Structure 1
Amino acid sequence: MHLVADDLAFSYPGRDVLRGVGVTVNSGTRLGVVGENGSGKSTFLHLLAGQLDPTGGEVRRDGTVALVEQELHPVPGQTVGDLVAATLDGLRRAAAELDAAAAAFDHEAGDLAELQRTLARAEHLAAWDADRRVDVALTRLGAPRDLGRGLAELSVGERYRVRLACRLAERADLLLLDEPTNHLDTSAIEFLTGELVAWRGGVVVVTHDRELLDDVATAILDLDPSWDGRPVLYGQPGYLSYRFAKNQALHRWRQRYRAERKRAARLAEVLDASYEGLSDEWRPPKGSQRHRRATRARIHVKAADRLAQKLEAEAVEVPVPPPALAFPDLPAMSPGWDPGEALVEVRNPRVVVADGGEPPGEASGAWPARDAAAAGSATSPGSSRKSVPGVLLDLPGTRVAVPPSGRLLVTGPNGTGKSTLLRVLAGEAGLARGSRVSREGVRIGVVGQESPALTPAAARRTGFETAADEALSLLAAGELDPDHVVAVASLGLLSEEDLDRPLGELSVGQRRRFELARALLHVPHLLLLDEPTNHLSIDLVDELTRALTATPAAVVVATHDRRMREELADWPELMLS
């Protein structure tokens, strides 16, 4: 198999997305694709899959293609079983076609090499083993295995894991993945990594996961424009090699831009000085040496024009380098607060589904007491309790206290209650047992794993069409203190153009940036971040990690991101299981 994208370009009405992209993907190629939010990564995958037609260049494919998008929009009534059945039917149909081709082979005049490829292809598809492969993939990825469950009933992450399991079992020649680790825990990521490394065809994976790039990518395509406006293909495998090469390129770009700005400033100063001679203050009094006065004026004009032409001829067009995250200076606490008093404290929390009630047989004292005070010391690992239907979180004997400038890293497999715990800390989830106390006047910024703004329909229902509209509406409604407001445009998260665009027109990553900006809008004392690296660009993930370690505000992070966990390894950790 092979895939070739030659000088690929794509534009939406009034906006160029991709230009001059060229890659070749063969069997064994595992191409990582990175870039800023809105740089066209998902669009690039749709072009490779043939779901979009390029406005320039071409894509040539040889082999089968499977695409796993970030968002799966189910058909009404569609179930897990429908996706599984489509995968199995497709595999069996393809295997039958290959078997028929082998049976009809002309042993006297036929191409023996082609027959061998046909048989190898049938063996690779292994339709007789497809049921087991699907079941293994569903299990290892933590996806629902109840074939009767409706896809509309599942969370975004559960739907993604079902689709990913089916695509892995199909064994396409070219596998296209859009942010595959967003909804996976550590064990599921390890399974996916093994599958990708062993993939017999080609792989193109859009990801912000730096560890995945290190483990999988044989090359990295950065869709962020370089100083000449074109994407760059970094041929060295591994994230660290890419990071070093890109940092060097950005350094040269910024140096060149500063030199160009200095040159432009010098041009302006020289021209001002040259044309100064034409002002009324310089000229002799009217009536005196009139002809000499006109001659000298013409000489000054011509000399200034020649200088301007010379300097402009030497100029080099250098675009503005990409902005970096400008994380605001957040407060640790307000004046008069006792530094020893926690901002938020939760004890013995238990949360059940709204209509599920208390499941029978729960022994509330079955687990040892644990203290997860986020004051800088390590915490004990979580209990090994089994999941109980209807129970979202159950931590008897557990105290979670977040002091000013405190840090806490919350880890654990999917389904252990990490998101629910953050919702409890934020005061957004009701407790069936336990207590939550927060300091009066504490400001909390929240970035949820599946936030409403990530869904265009939900954004429209709120009535806030743009990010700028929402900030102004919150201020007008009195939900923001005018003395404690961060200007969204100053954060470097969204451009002025994006701030004025309807949320529904922004990419998933850009809407995620908006969620982060909204959490910072009211200058919080405490940041609660649930999978904060999901959907963000890889550059922003690096910048955000550095900012979280340095901010005076208290921070609680729940994440599966392995590289982020390594970088926050000195934080107190609460491991749920």
Structure 2
Amino acid sequence: MSDEKIIFSMAGVNKVYPPQKQVLKNIYLSFFYGAKIGVIGLNGSGKSSLLRIIAGLDKSYQGEVVFSPGYTVGYLAQEPELDPQKTVREVVEEGVAEISAVLKEYEEINEKFGLPEVYENPDEMDRLLARQGELQDKIDATGAWEIDSKLERAMDALRCPEPDRRVDTLSGGERRRVALCRLLLQEPDVLLLDEPTNHLDAESIDWLEQHLQQYRGTVIAVTHDRYFLDNVAGWILELDRGEGIPWKGNYSSWLDQKAKRLAQEEKTESKRQKTLERELEWVRMAPKARHAKSKARLHNYEKLASEETKEREEKLELFIPPGPRLGNVVIEAQQVSKAYGDKILFENLSFSLPPAGIVGIIGPNGAGKTTLFRLITGQELPDSGTFRVGETVALGYVDQLHDDLNPEKTVWENITGGHENIQLGNRLVNSRAYVSKFNFNGADQQKKVGVLSGGERNRVHLAITLKKGANVLLLDEPTNDIDVNTLRALEEGLENFGGCAVVISHDRWFLDRICTHILAFEGNSQVYFFEGNYTEYEENRKKRLGDIGPQRIKYKKLVKG
């Protein structure tokens, strides 16, 4: 198109971290105003480095980076910097500081009209009227009169904390939501987003997608959220061993092109290639076929739990060994209620988890999802109702807060106990090969756990949990901070797992692909148990509750008699 204007280009860019780790290799990249680009690649492949270079924050690279003058750039870092003394509302208002200043000047001129030195001086009166006219034009062009309701809508949709909370009392996830809200209100010409969906629940991600689809400017997002990449991106930039490979189209289109390219490049079909092809097969399935597949899993427990696992072990990139055979009772809740202080987290919760069931737990942060895990593990008791875990259940769970990782030991030692071979189901496997499946390669396996990032610790937890030989897995946000390749392998491992899983996640693609049931925390202390995947649940919710956008979570008050 002739009106497409290139506003940014990078030529021959290299980025090396001392002593000699090259993450970007001879990158050439140009983009138009309005382009929507998703960046994917393994952890450590240079995705965040690329964004920091485009944002102008990282100057230590070789090569050329050129931005057309006159364009504004906004950047969401994984750990954004906010003024700890300010309140949530004050930080969010920084995003509309320019508009607020216009409104303030407009009000000040209005007040001046009542002063004798103004209304008795025709020249001063004319000057102020002219200035007020200019301000009025700006107010009309930016919709400034609506600014308060716009702020409220954005804060609600991203489920920001209470407006008067101080930043220094916020969790990491809350800070990210506040920073994202401020950035979206700024409306820069180029939005650079590093993992924007982390710490957002599924409903808020859906809202963000719709917002970015209509966004006038350019959006470049590093993300492993595949529906986000499908619904927002018009281009995929894949970073692979330092090189940047652009693909036209969204994630599903990339999957198709990538599978064909691997088929040409690889003489023998690798497990990675087969995993890609099976995901592509799932993408092409009609909703009815997907539903039938998840139904079939529920009827196939005997087959999944049987000893004939060798074929599956050979087929899968990540094989999860089945634990002891489950009886008929796995996890059952009847009329369960639980409160904290004067807030009822949930009431009248009833569900029954069948053998081979995979339940996705969804809802806003703070709604009570982790408390449900604590009920399952026996760390908490219900206030009323009955909660029953079957006698045959062997839980696989690592509590994220009270983990027993040894910070002085390496990643490899923590996961394997220092053994060269580990027992995985019925066979011995090389322990370093197992650890590498969680994207810890070479030197990374020798890192001390004490220096790991939150995302790396997540992957260590996951590796420990999946090798335990449990028959019921409890996974708390397993999709956070893992790359698309590991996600795909984890999905297949769970699909073929001869047991049950209860998974807290906001990754809608993941939930659609693996879940037989959804347990949704819907606010106002209500939890809804649904048979089907995430997309089917969403259709059901809209029919029951209407098509309302995300709102800040509300609890029922606990009224003591």
TM-score, L = length of structure 2: 0.68
Structure 1 stretch 414-423 or stretch 2-11: which is displaced more?
Answer: 414-423
1:326 alignment partner in structure 2: 317
1:527 alignment partner in structure 2: 473
Which residue identity lines up with residue 138 of structure 1 in the other structure?
M
Shift of 1:463: 2.7
More strand by share: 2
Which residue identity lines up with residue 53 of structure 1 in the other structure?
K
Task: Tell me if structure 2 keeps the 8 A contact 1:527–1:554.
Answer: yes
Aligned partner of residue 255 in structure 1, secondary structure: coil
Q: Does the alignment pair 1:162 with 2:178?
A: yes
Which residue identity lines up with residue 344 of structure 2 in the other structure?
V
1:421 alignment partner in structure 2: 372
The verdict on how the C-alpha distance between 1:528 and 1:13 changes in structure 2, with shifts beyond 3 A counting, is: same
Aligned partner of residue 267 in structure 2, secondary structure: helix
Query: C-alpha deviations, 1:1-43, integer Å up to 9, x for none?
Result: 8222222222222322222222223221011001111212122
What is the rounded CA distance, in whole Å, between the counterparts of 1:516 and 1:85 in structure 2? 39
Shift of 1:530: 3.0
Shift of 1:119: 12
Task: Tell me if structure 2 keeps the 8 A contact 1:445–1:528.
Answer: yes
Task: Tell me if structure 2 keeps the 8 A contact 1:30–1:216.
Answer: yes
The verdict on how the C-alpha distance between 1:562 and 1:513 changes in structure 2, with shifts beyond 3 A counting, is: same
> Aligned-pair RMSD on alpha carbons?
3.7
Gaps of 5+ in 2: 1-5, 106-134, 271-314, 523-561
What is the rounded CA distance, in whole Å, between the counterparts of 2:159 and 2:463 in structure 1? 31
Which residue identity lines up with residue 263 of structure 2 in the other structure?
H
What is the rounded CA distance, in whole Å, between the counterparts of 1:418 and 1:181 in structure 2? 18
1:174 alignment partner in structure 2: 190
Shift of 1:500: 0.9
Which residue identity lines up with residue 24 of structure 1 in the other structure?
S
Task: Tell me if structure 1 keeps the 8 A contact 2:397–2:475.
Answer: yes
Task: Tell me if structure 2 keeps the 8 A contact 1:37–1:510.
Answer: no
What is the rounded CA distance, in whole Å, between the counterparts of 2:416 and 2:223 in structure 1? 33
Q: Does the alignment pair 1:352 with 2:303?
A: no
Please, which of 141, 145, 167 is the counterpart of residue 158 of structure 2?
141
Shift of 1:167: 0.8
Q: How many residues align?
A: 435
The verdict on how the C-alpha distance between 1:17 and 1:89 changes in structure 2, with shifts beyond 3 A counting, is: same
Q: Does the alignment pair 1:12 with 2:28?
A: no
Query: C-alpha deviations, 1:181-208, integer Å up to 9, x for none?
Result: 2222343223211221121211101111
Aligned partner of residue 187 in structure 1, secondary structure: helix
Gaps of 5+ in 1: 98-117, 259-323, 360-389
Of structures 1 and 2, the larger Rg is shown by 1
Q: Does the alignment pair 1:544 with 2:490?
A: yes
Structure 1 stretch 50-59 or stretch 496-505: which is displaced more?
Answer: 496-505
What is the rounded CA distance, in whole Å, between the counterparts of 2:159 and 2:223 in structure 1? 20
The verdict on how the C-alpha distance between 1:352 and 1:30 changes in structure 2, with shifts beyond 3 A counting, is: same
Aligned partner of residue 576 in structure 1, secondary structure: strand
1:232 alignment partner in structure 2: 245
1:209 alignment partner in structure 2: 225
Please, which of 218, 227, 246 is the counterpart of residue 234 of structure 2?
218
1:46 alignment partner in structure 2: 52
Query: C-alpha deviations, 1:239-264, integer Å up to 9, x for none?
Result: 11100111222333332899xxxxxx
What is the rounded CA distance, in whole Å, between the counterparts of 1:58 and 1:426 in structure 2? 55
Aligned partner of residue 220 in structure 2, secondary structure: strand
Please, which of 489, 492, 495 is the counterpart of residue 441 of structure 2?
495
The verdict on how the C-alpha distance between 1:9 and 1:506 changes in structure 2, with shifts beyond 3 A counting, is: farther
Q: Does the alignment pair 1:89 with 2:105?
A: no
The verdict on how the C-alpha distance between 1:546 and 1:521 changes in structure 2, with shifts beyond 3 A counting, is: closer
The verdict on how the C-alpha distance between 1:421 and 1:188 changes in structure 2, with shifts beyond 3 A counting, is: same
1:131 alignment partner in structure 2: 148
The verdict on how the C-alpha distance between 1:483 and 1:186 changes in structure 2, with shifts beyond 3 A counting, is: closer
Q: 1:185-196 residue pairs with structure 2 within 5 A? A: 185-196=201-212
What is the rounded CA distance, in whole Å, between the counterparts of 2:495 and 2:221 in structure 1? 29
The verdict on how the C-alpha distance between 1:185 and 1:504 changes in structure 2, with shifts beyond 3 A counting, is: same
2:73 alignment partner in structure 1: 65
1:373 alignment partner in structure 2: none
Shift of 1:484: 10
Task: Tell me if structure 1 keeps the 8 A contact 2:407–2:448.
Answer: no
What is the rounded CA distance, in whole Å, between the counterparts of 1:466 and 1:164 in structure 2? 35
The verdict on how the C-alpha distance between 1:73 and 1:211 changes in structure 2, with shifts beyond 3 A counting, is: same
What is the rounded CA distance, in whole Å, between the counterparts of 2:495 and 2:39 in structure 1? 27
Which residue identity lines up with residue 470 of structure 2 in the other structure?
P
Aligned partner of residue 223 in structure 1, secondary structure: strand
Structure 1 stretch 160-169 or stretch 461-470: which is displaced more?
Answer: 461-470
What is the rounded CA distance, in whole Å, between the counterparts of 2:379 and 2:455 in structure 1? 24
